[in-house]
Structure formats: structure tokens, C-alpha cells
Amino acid sequence: MSGVTDPWTLFVIAGLAGITVLARCFFFILDRPWTLPGWAHRALYYAPVAALAGVVVPEIVMSNGHFVASWQDPRIFGAVVGAAIYFWRRSVLATMIAGMAVYLPLHLGLGW
Amino acid sequence: MFFLREIHRHPEFRNGMRATASVAPGIAAWGLMTGVAMVKSGMSVLEAVAMTLLVYAGSSQLAAIPLIVAGAPFWVIWATGFCVNLRFVVFSLHLRNYLMHLPRWRRLVNGFLTADLSYALFTGRYSEPAQDAPGRLAQESYLAGNYFLTWVAWNGASLLGIALANWIPGAWGLGFAGVLCLVGVLCSLANTRLRLLAAAIAGSAAVAAYALPLKLNIVVAIAIAVLACFWLEGRRPPPREKLA
């Protein structure tokens, strides 16, 4: 995968670009006004947070397809500190900086 | 539509850029790390550049990276990207009132370029859509000023990050910065009790169902979390949660 351009990946990227346009323009693509059914409107409140959690949590606690049993994993410490900083400073940037400030010394310094 | 003369010569275009200037450094820093994270996660430079310029949506880009690297089928990646982007669907219902007088291609360009912060700044400045032509032009110019500077900050920094990533050893693990950005976005979205619960259920389900082929654990996680929250909504006393 590393460094080699794959036509399939470019196809996926082009589709994601279409997804961006579809989501950002959703209700003004068509000329006439329309609405979503009630259940779909309610799903809008939960699906984004569920999708992000579904992607992010395995990236933090799984390794090569297995649950990380050891507590000596720099990702867990970085993510927990990052989340705590978010609720203190309300900034995604602060979350990223603080999380990396925890992750990098554990990963590079202690070799976890 | 910053390339139209009537827009970028309008005084509101400058005002829009000025309003964005205070948040532009944060956008640039996030763009920089997204650029680094894309390349350090194994994407080629061409793929990373195409993703930055075409997809132009930080969280769905970052969410797509592990799925692309794992070789997930295209529809799982697109469905996940769409779910992550659903907040824009809510925004588009609101922005419709401001944009419907424009021809479709102009609505689509404005919509594609309007990300979270531009939407927030624009609707903060103009709480009501304009009723006459000069007012509409002023509003479109302000919005264009917002997203023009956002676009420059995000793409400039991302391209710089992609260039720098080639000089950074993979062993440093800087791809993790992308995961941390998503942790921050996740925390910002989990702003009601039911949404927090949705995140917890989806996270657990994605781990429990990890062995499923084709990265279907993400799809299963979204479905279980949304259905569980529907069910709990029905069992709760009248909601005091805010809905947006």
C-alpha cells in the first residue's frame, strides 16, 4: 500500500468527493422543497457520532485484529488524555496536540 | 463563488475573510496534521493530494483512511463517509433558504465549499436570508469570504503536510494524530446523553464485531447504535436534550 498509487483508491476518493457534495448540498440539489421521513430525521442525530465511534474506537484498542490486552499501549493513554483535554478546552487542535504529547514519549521514548 | 468578480470585489467578501482569520490558524494546523496522517498511514502522495482537494472534509477523510488501508469495499467507505458527514445534511436544510435563488451549479459550488466553521460564521452574521437582490449578493459574498480563506488555509496546510510527511520516519507514528483529531470531533458530537450512549454502543459493537469481513463491523455498529437510541428515545420522558 505504502507510496504506490492505486486506481481503486482514486475511485474511492472520487466517490467520497461526491459524498461531500451530496451531504453539503443535500436539501438544495433539487429545485422543489422536500423533507425526509421522520425516522430519517431522527437518525441524523445519532448516525454521525455512531459512525465516528465505530471507526475510532477499534483504531485505539485493536492491534492486528485483536483486542489489546496489555495496558502498555501509548494509543490508549494518548486518546484518554486527548478526550479529557477536549472537555477542558473544547478544541480539537488542543486534543490533537495534548494526545501526541502523551503518545510520542511513550511510543518513541519507552518503545511501547 | 470567490472567482466571480462581483463576489470578490464586494466589501462583504473582505468582512467574511476577516471573520475567518481568527480560526484560520486552527484550520491550518488540523489540515497540516491531516496531510501528514494521510501519507503516514500508507497513502501515496497523489492519493493524498487528490483526497485533500476533492474530498475536502477533514473528518470523513480521516475516517476513510483506516478503511482504505484495510481494503474495505467502496460502499462501506462511502456509507461511513456519508454518516460522518450527516451534520452537513442538517446544515443544508438551513442554508437552502439563503441559496435557492441561485442557479443549481452555483448552489452546488457554494455548498461544496461551505464546511462547519463557514456555516457557523455565516449563519451567526446573517440570522435571516436577504429579501432583495443586493442583500442576497452581500450574503453570498460574505459566505464566499468565509470559505475562501478556509479553503486556502486547509488545502495549503494539507499540501505542506503531505510534502513534509516524506521526510518524517514512519516509525514515529504520526498517523495517530489523525485518530486524535477524530477523538476530538467525536467528543464535540457527543453533546447529549443519548449521543454519548450512541458513541459507547457503536464503539463497543465495532470492536465486538471486528472479525466480520469487509469492515462490516462499522455498518453493524452504526445500525445497532441508532436503533438502540430510537428504542431508548421512546422509553424516555419528554426529552430535555437539545436536538442540534
B43 dihedral zone (left: phi>0; alpha: psi -120 to 50; beta): beta
pLDDT surpasses 90 at B4: no
pLDDT, mean of residues B76-87: 91
Does the beta-carbon distance from A51 to B218 stay under 8 Å?
A: yes
Query: B28: which 3 cell numbers?
Result: 491550518
Mutation to test the A interface, candidates B49, B85, B180, B193, most A Cβ within 10 Å: B180
Alpha-carbon span A108 to B171, nearest angstrom: 8
When pLDDT is cut at 50, 70 and 90, the band that residue A32 belongs to is confident
B241 dihedral zone (left: phi>0; alpha: psi -120 to 50; beta): beta
Partner A contacted by B92 (CB < 8 A): yes
3-state secondary structure of B225: helix
Query: B80: which 3 cell numbers?
Result: 461511513
How does pLDDT run across A48-92, given as a tens digit for each residue? 889 889 989 998 998 877 888 788 899 999 999 999 999 999 888
Residues 127-156, chain B, touching A (beta carbon < 8 A): none
Mean pLDDT of chain B: 88
Residues 52-81, chain B, touching A (beta carbon < 8 A): 54-57, 59-61, 63-64, 66-69, 74, 77-78, 80-81
Q: Which residue has the higher pLDDT, A3 or B198?
A: B198
pLDDT surpasses 70 at B242: no
pLDDT at position B235: 77
Q: Which residue has the higher pLDDT, B8 or B53?
A: B53
Alpha-carbon span A42 to A46, nearest angstrom: 7
Instruction: Name the residue in chain A with its Cα closest to that of B26.
Output: A93
Does the beta-carbon distance from B221 to A53 stay under 8 Å?
A: yes
CA distances from B49 to B73, B153, B243 (A): 21, 15, 36
Sign of CA dihedral A48, A53, A56, A58: negative
Which chain A residues are closer than 8 Å to B42 by Cβ? Answer: 1-3
Amino acid at B170: G
pLDDT at position B140: 95
- Residues of chain B with pLDDT > 70: what percent? 95
How does pLDDT run across B94-111, given as a tens digit for each residue? 899 999 999 999 999 999
Which chain B residues are closer than 8 Å to A43 by Cβ? Answer: 226, 230
pLDDT surpasses 80 at B215: no
Confidence (pTM):
0.81
In this structure, what are the phi and psi dihedrals at residue A62, rounded to the nearest 5 degrees? -110, 150
Q: Which of B66, B82, B206 sits opposite A23 (nearest CB)?
A: B82
Alpha-carbon span B35 to B29, nearest angstrom: 10
How does pLDDT run across B57-73, given as a tens digit for each residue? 988 898 899 899 888 99
pLDDT surpasses 70 at A11: yes
As beta bridge partners, residue A62 has A67
How does pLDDT run across B132-189, given as a tens digit for each residue? 999 999 999 999 999 999 999 999 999 999 999 988 877 777 778 878 888 988 898 8
Alpha-carbon span B227 to B55, nearest angstrom: 29
Closest Cα to residue B22, out of B131, B167, B120, B140? B120
Does the beta-carbon distance from A29 to B108 stay under 8 Å?
A: yes
Alpha-carbon span B30 to B26, nearest angstrom: 6
* Alpha-carbon gap: A40 to the closest alpha carbon of chain B (Å): 10
- Which residue is associated with the grid cell 469487509? B214
CB atoms within 10 A of CB B196: 16
When pLDDT is cut at 50, 70 and 90, the band that residue A1 belongs to is very low
Which value does ipTM take for this structure? 0.85
Q: Are B68 and A9 in contact (CB under 8 A)?
A: yes
